[in-house]
Amino acid sequence: MNMLKIWGRLNSINVMKVMWCVEELGIEHERIDAGMKFGVVGEDFYAKLNPNRRVPTIDDDGLLLWESNVIVRYLSLKYGSGNLSPADIGERALAEQWMDWQQTTIHPDLTFIFWAVVRDLKENQDPDKLAAAGARLAKAWKLVDEHLDERDYLGGKQLTMADIPLGAAIWRWYNMNIDRPALSNVEAWHERLKQRPGFQKYVMLPLT
């Protein structure tokens, strides 16, 4: 069996999710820097791994997979069933619900703001658009805050794959120079995540 291979640069939120997951599960792996300043994604061989030419991509003993949340689901089920991937089908579906919600509801506005504030992209710096994105995000995180009122983690008492995409996103939200409402449950959950070595190693990095 060949060792898990992961292509992706460490300052990508989508790569962070996979790396944090791999660390939680203790999977032996090899990571290859790819994307932005590292190039690689433009090379001919890469299109065969991932025709989108994006990161992350994995090769797990011949299985080529892209889409960060799908990779997190796959690794969690294969290497962490009953742990990161809940054994109960309903609980697993609820975890997946939060993962998809991160992609559809949090990611577009968070990325818009991130590129304006951190990567200094002028076309994203329209104050009205930034304010609208910030307001939508605040509303969305409030929903997470309400959900966390009775739970330590999104899936209940323990960390599951549900926490990984939104956990990577909350670090970004709290580390950008933007206005934010106070959300005590989200803040407490963020503090819990910050205690985890995998989160410390791969998510708690300066934003670049």
Beta carbons within 10 angstroms of residue 89's beta carbon: 8
Q: Which of 187, 207 has the CB closer to ligand GSH?
A: 207
The token pair that represents 197 in the structure block: 């070595």
Binders in 41-60 for ligand GSH, by CB under 6 A: 41, 54-56
**Which of the ranges 7-15, 116-124, 170-178, 183-191 carries the binding residues for ligand GSH, by CB under 6 A?**
7-15
Residue of 23, 31, 41, 24 whose CA lies nearest to 3: 31
Give the angle 65-70-75 at the CA atoms, nearest 5°: 80
Q: Is 14 in the site for ligand GSH (CB under 6 A)?
A: yes
Look up residue 59 and give its amino acid. D
Q: Is 160 in the site for ligand GSH (CB under 6 A)?
A: no
Enclosing H/E stretch for 82 = none
- Tell me the C-alpha distance between 84 and 69, whole Å: 13
Least distance to ligand GSH, CB of residue 48, Å: 16
Task: Find the Cα–Cα–Cα–Cα dihedral 139, 145, 149, 150, rounded to 10°.
Answer: 110
Q: Is 68 in the site for ligand GSH (CB under 6 A)?
A: yes
Q: Is 67 in the site for ligand GSH (CB under 6 A)?
A: yes
Q: Which of 41, 144 has the CB closer to ligand GSH?
A: 41
Q: Which of 55, 183 has the CB closer to ligand GSH?
A: 55
Q: Is 33 in the site for ligand GSH (CB under 6 A)?
A: no
- Contacts to ligand GSH by CB under 6 A: 12-14, 35-36, 41, 54-56, 67-69
